[in-house]
Amino acid sequence: MRKISVIVISIALLYSCGEQKKVIKPIEEEKAVITVEKKKTLSVTIESLSSKTSSSLRGISVIDSMTLWASGSNGLILRTTDGGKNWVEHKIKGFETLDFRDIEAFDQNTAIVMSVDAPAFFFKTTDGGKSWKRKYMNRDPKVFFDAIAFWNEKNGIALSDPIDGRFFIIITKDGGEIWKTIPSINIPPALKGESAFAASGTSISVQGKNLVWFGTGGADRSRIFLSEDGGENWRATDGAIKAGNSSSGVFSICFKDDLNGFAVGGNYKNDKDSTSNYSFCDDGGLTWQSRTNNLPHGFKSCIAWNEMRKILIATGTSGSDYSEDEGKTWKQFDSKSYNSIGISKVDGSCYFVGDKGAIARIRSGFIQ
């Protein structure tokens, strides 16, 4: 019996040792598949449209991809409702020689157009340009309106060069039916030679419910004025763009939101010079900063933020540039001369206008 027990124990020990010698290979982990996505490149192209006019165009207002209005010299007002394939010309009887430097449209039937110098007029249409009614007139020989802008269909503001030492500003709260003059005491005194520029109708910019800014030049330095109460009261700060003569300064302003703003300009008589032609702010316009490199190419008369595409676009007689990084770097995409930019808040559609009836559609999108 004892011998049998010894044999059983021996067999058990041998089996145990055999099991210890077994090598269990680990299961190899499945290698992860890494997919490298190609970086998308933004493509910005320009398509010229035919307006069949020789007038200089500086005012533009884009409703959507199909409907836009434009205005300019020789009393000309243009409207298209098919994306620029066909244009309808409008002129206001008795006012065929006016220079309509800016236009603000609210839909395909309603728009307000602004003429510049004395006697200055604002006209409004509610039937697509078939008829126009005078809504404002100023006979002061010193008046020279630079731009008009609206926060919404009711509340708007218009800016003129200084009269008796201070900028002349009017506001409306009923869609342009009645205009109120802001007391000059509420506006800082103008510098010697200081004025705004009517090159593109964008020397003034509005944002939110009652924020508004305008840029100046022509003096020993450029400035940007700010109002936080719908134009009732103003303060001024350095514009950080080259000035020093009558052809230099801030020509255009736009804002991405209540805090982040962008300004362009330079010297239109030396439009290939890019020196100090761009500034920006991140504090609602209280302080403006300039850059020394990676600037837009040459003089720029207009800058605009495309909220749908998230890009900045600037244009002028020196050509057109865009920025994908909120103005840190710029790329030129066209060398032709244009005056102003219109961008739809509805769908991001973008159009340019310029001298000799120039009109163009800007297309942008990402490609692999």
How many CB atoms within 10 Å of residue 152?
10
**Domain coverage including residue 130:** 37-367
Judge contact between 90 and 134, C-beta under 8 A.
no
Element counts in the chain: helices (H) and strands (E): 1, 28
| Global confidence as pTM | 0.89
Q: Does residue 5 lie in a domain region?
A: no
CATH of residue 275's domain is 2.130.10.10
Q: Would you say residue 354 lies in a domain?
A: yes
Judging by beta carbons within 10 Å of its beta carbon (0-12, 13-18, 19+), is residue 25 exposed, middle or buried? exposed
pLDDT in tens, the chain (368 residues): 444 444 434 444 334 444 444 444 554 555 555 655 666 788 999 999 999 999 999 999 999 999 999 999 999 999 999 999 999 999 999 999 999 999 999 999 999 999 999 999 999 999 999 999 999 999 999 999 999 999 999 999 999 999 999 999 999 999 999 999 999 999 999 999 999 999 999 999 999 999 999 999 999 999 999 999 999 999 999 999 999 999 999 999 999 999 999 999 999 999 999 999 999 999 999 999 999 899 999 999 999 999 999 999 999 999 999 999 999 999 999 999 999 999 999 999 999 999 999 999 999 876 65
Q: Distance between CA 301 and CA 322 in Å, rounded? A: 14
> Looking at the domain assignment, is residue 31 inside a domain?
no
Is 15 inside a domain boundary?
no
Residue 311 counted as domain residue: yes
Q: 188: closest CA among 203, 204, 167, 210?
A: 167
Q: How many domains does the chain have?
A: 1
